[in-house]
Structures are given as C-alpha cells and as structure tokens.
A and B are shown apart, each in its own frame.
Chain A
Amino acid sequence: MEKVAPPALFQNWLSSHIFTPLSGGTFYIALVGSVIFWCLFLFILQSLPSPIRRRLLVVTTFVAGLFYSVEFFWPAEGNRLTGYVEPLGVFLQIMGGFGLGIGIISLCNVHGKAIFRRQPGYYNSIAFFLAFVLMIVASFWQHYVKPDTSMEAVAKQFYSFMFDGLYVPLDSTVFSLLAFFIVSAAYRAFRIRSAEASLMMITAFIVMLGQVPIGMALTNWIPADGPLAGLRLERLTNWILTGLNAAAFRAIIFGAMVGYIAMSLRVWLSLEKGTYFEKEL
C-alpha cells in the first residue's frame, strides 16, 4: 500500500491564509499588486552590484537543490516536504509558459526578417505566419465558440482539419523518414571495411535472422534440449541481446549516470566553471 505523506510544513496555514482563491475586486487588486511586486523585485535585482547578485544566485541554487535532496532522503512516512513538490512543479510550469512567449518572439523575429529582407526561401516564412495565425484562430475559436450552435460544428471541424488533417500527418511524415534513414545508415555501418565492421555485420545478421520465422526454421533441426541447443538462432539472438548487448548498454548508462551526479553536484554547489557559470552577472 502506498504511504500517504502528511501535510508539508506550514502547508495548511499557507493554504488557508495565502493561497486562497480570490474573486471580484480583490482578485484584480491582488493581480495588479503581484505584477507591481515582481516588477519591483526584478528592478532591485538588476540594480544590485554584480558580486551580490552572484551570491544570491549561489544561495538560491543551493537552497533549491537542498530542498529536493532533503525531500528525497526523508522517508515517505512523515515526510513534511513532499506536499511542496507538486506546487513547485506548477511554479516551474508557469515559468515554462513565459518561455513560450520568448519562443514566439524568436520565431517572429527570424521569419519577419526573412520576409522583410526577401531572403531566399522567404515564402516559407510567409507559410509559417499563415499557419501560426490559422492555428491560433482555430484553437481559440473551437474553445470559445458558443455551445449548441451551428458554428460549434464548423469551429470543431476547422480545428480538426488544422490539427488532425494537417499537423498530425506532417508529424508522421517526418517520423516515417526514419525508415529510409535506417536503411542508408545500416548500409554504411554494415559495409565490410574492417574487422570490427565485419563482426558487427555478422552479429546483426544473426540477430535479424533470429527474430524472424524463416531464420528460426534454419536451425530448428537442432534439438531444443540437446547440448547444442545454444546454437539455435533464436537462442543465439537472445544471448547476444541479453548478454553482450545488455552488458555494454548498462555500462554506458552507469558511466553516464555517475557523470550526471558529478555535473549535478558541480551545479548545486556552484563549483561549475565555464562560459555560462563564470559570467559576470
């Protein structure tokens, strides 16, 4: 049975005093107030001297990392931090929402310049703006159209045409290109140029044969419970995949995970050096 964590520290108090749903005039006052607060906060942050800003960044990074570490190591039973994990996730999602705005500005900037300067292929940028506007219109229209009216069916059909009729097939088309690329990549990889390439070719040949009925049929004359049973193609394939392949695969994952821990530690403890981390703030 899954253990249920108790309410996080001060969570009940925060829910009843700070994070209460607002409506009417109070909502708008709170909205304007929070905008003013964050503008002021950013202004103060920008005016701070560089070393103080850097220290603030170091402390914030450490506290954020400490929160998740303590939450992870605190046993589930009686964990008084788990309750904050979800609200923090929502906070990060909201931050991501702001990122979308940055993305739209970037897209409009790149494609706007291409049209304005009549760069080669600028008509692709016109297609981008057209698709962008049409998709926005389709989404908002089907969302806000009055229900149970004749326009509702039109709006939903228009959205379906744009999303299911255009976007989904285009996405699948790009995905299906993989099939062709796999063939050309396999051709290059399996050309017998060296001992390693030959070994890979032979291994791939065995694995492919071992996966299909005709391949299995080639060796089904070997008794399944005899001493040579391991030479049956399906058994050989299974051994290559679960023995050789899995071992190499796990070794890569182990190495990568230890590297991940090291890099996370460097970022958390602000020990990371390099272009972005040593930048004068």
Chain B
Amino acid sequence: MEHASPAAYVVLPLLSAIIVALIFRARAGAFIFIRKIPGIEAMEEAVGRATEMGRPILFSVGLGGIDIITLQAIEVVGHVGRAAARFRNRVIVPLVDPLAIPVVEEVLREAYSSQGAQEAFRSEDVRFLSGEQFAYAAGVVGIMNREQVATSFYFGSFAAEALILAETGQSVGAVQIAGTPSALQVPFFITTCDYTIIGEEYYATTAYLGRDATLMGSVVGQDFGKILLFAVMLLGVLAASVLGPEAQWFAEYVGLWATGGGG
C-alpha cells in the first residue's frame, strides 16, 4: 500500500485547505471570475446544430468506471441533456461500465423532465456496449455511422480508442467537443475535434456551465494551488541555476522529502 511521503503531509492538507477556504469565500458572496473557455461556450451551439440537422447527439463518458473523472463527465451529460431536451433532440450515451447505467439514465431523465420533455427521453439511448476497450470503440463507431450523429461529446478518461472515435466523428461530419484529463489523448483530440478542453479546464466545466458559487470557488482554489506548486518549482529551478552542481544536496533533500526516502 502507498502511504504519505513527508511532502504529502504538507502539500495535500495545504492544497485542500486553500480549496475549501475559497469555496466558503465564494459561498459568502465574493466575486469570482473564470476566463472564457471556448469549448464550453460552443456546447449549446453544437446541440442546436444537431437539432437543425435533425440528427442525434452522441456523448461518450470514456473508459472510466464510477470515479471522479466519470462523475464530472456525467455532470456534463446533465447539461447537454437539458440543452437537447429544450430542442426535443436525443442524446445517445454509450457506456463501458454497467454501474453507470442507472446514474446516467437518472441524470438524463431528470434533465428532460426539467425542460418538460419527458416524452423525448428514450431509456434505450443510455446503453451499455462492452467492458472491453476496443469492443466499446467498435460499438460507438457503429452507432455514429448508423445514427449519423451531428454532434459528438467526449468527456472522461480515454485511451487508444480516443482517435478511433474522434476520427469516425470527423468522417460523419459531426461537430466534436472533447474534454479529458488523460494527457496522452489530448493531442489526438486537438487534432480531430473542433474544441478540446484540457487539463484542469476539464474540472472547471461544471463550474463554468452552472455558475454555482461552490464550484466557482473550487476552481479559483485550484488556481491558487497551482500557483503554490509553481512557486515550489521555481524555487527548485532557481536553486539549480544559481547553485549549479553545488545544489545537489538540495535536490537530494527535496527527493528524500518527496518520496519519504524511497518508501
């Protein structure tokens, strides 16, 4: 089992305290600014385009099980579902984890109900395909081609199947918006999708869409956390640059601190 290193004892509680403090500050009414994220701005427009073309929307939540990344993706499904419900359009959600079926189904049903479009919701649009990566990819590709989807959303954890999905989306002429914290897949999405939400932007999506104080505060907390980490890195760079080889003791000390002496 992995246990906390000396660095984790300091960094994790400090980051958590900053984030929670800023959440409460935002809840108390402090003004929070989040820069414009074009991919999120384009979501509504992409849903509208699908409706104009009379074709459905596809939303893939990736390969993850019910974890933090997938929960964030499911939140976005809710937002897309509400926009689609306003236009009485369909959102097809193919899944890799069967445990996500009741969750996504409930989220979408509620999204349609909130817009008074219960009749437009089809439970078979939330479908489990396979627990296997490439069987899932083949299933999604099949749906895209058969249904000729006009808009595709890819939010969640992705691996090698990312390019297969996004290239198929390109070939059927879909507007594509991707969001993933899987750094290795980001280049593929940038190449094939119209908009890509990367890194920490992924976790800011719901804050941006919902404009809720708790979420906005958390996003600002994230940024402060990054500034803190950047300061530590800058300190390391300065030490290495100014002290040169003399800074070896510093590197060894930091290494020991970060790993707990290899434990």
Contact = CB atoms under 8 A, between A and B. Distances in A.
Contacts of B181: 256, 259-260
Contact of A261 (B16, B131, B160, B215): B16
Interface string B44-87: 00000000000000000000010011011011011101000000
B72 A106 contact: no
A196 to B, nearest CB: 11
A103 B167 contact: no
A146 interface: no
B23 interface: yes
A275 B79 contact: yes
B98 A102 contact: yes
Contact of A265 (B19, B135, B192, B229): B19
Given A171-B134, A267-B68, A275 B75 contact: yes
A244 interface: no
A273 B212 CA distance: 7
A213 B256 CA distance: 40
Given A252-B199, A259-B181, A264-B68, A110 B134 contact: no
B107 interface: yes
A184 B212 contact: no
Interface stretch (B34-42, B148-156, B203-211, B242-250): B203-211
A210 B222 CA distance: 38
B68 A263 contact: yes
Given A106-B101, A174-B164, A256-B202, A267 B71 contact: yes
B1 A76 contact: yes
A74 interface: yes
Give chain B's interface secondary structure class.
helix
A218 to B, nearest CB: 26
Interface stretch (A31-39, A52-60, A93-101, A154-162): A93-101
Interface residues of A, number: 65
A171 B188 CA distance: 21
B188 A72 contact: no
A263 to B, nearest CB: 5
A129 to B, nearest CB: 15
Contacts of A184: 167, 170
Interface residues of B, number: 79
Contacts of A170: 135, 138
Contacts of A269: 20
A274 B75 contact: yes
A249 B1 contact: no
Contacts of A255: 199-201, 222, 226
B43 interface: no
A262 interface: yes
Contact of B3 (A72, A177, A253, A261): A72
Task: Kindly name the residue among A186, A255, A272 whose own CB sees the greatest number of chain B CB atoms within 10 A.
Answer: A255
Interface of B: 1-4, 8-9, 12, 15-16, 19-20, 23, 65, 68-69, 71-72, 74-75, 77-79, 81, 97-99, 101-103, 106-107, 110-111, 123-124, 126-128, 131-132, 134-135, 137-138, 142, 146, 160, 163-164, 166-167, 170, 181, 183, 186, 188, 190-192, 198-204, 206, 210, 212, 214-215, 218-219, 221-222, 225-226, 229, 263
The 6 closest A-B pairs by CB, nearest first: A103-B98, A275-B78, A259-B203, A255-B200, A99-B99, A255-B199
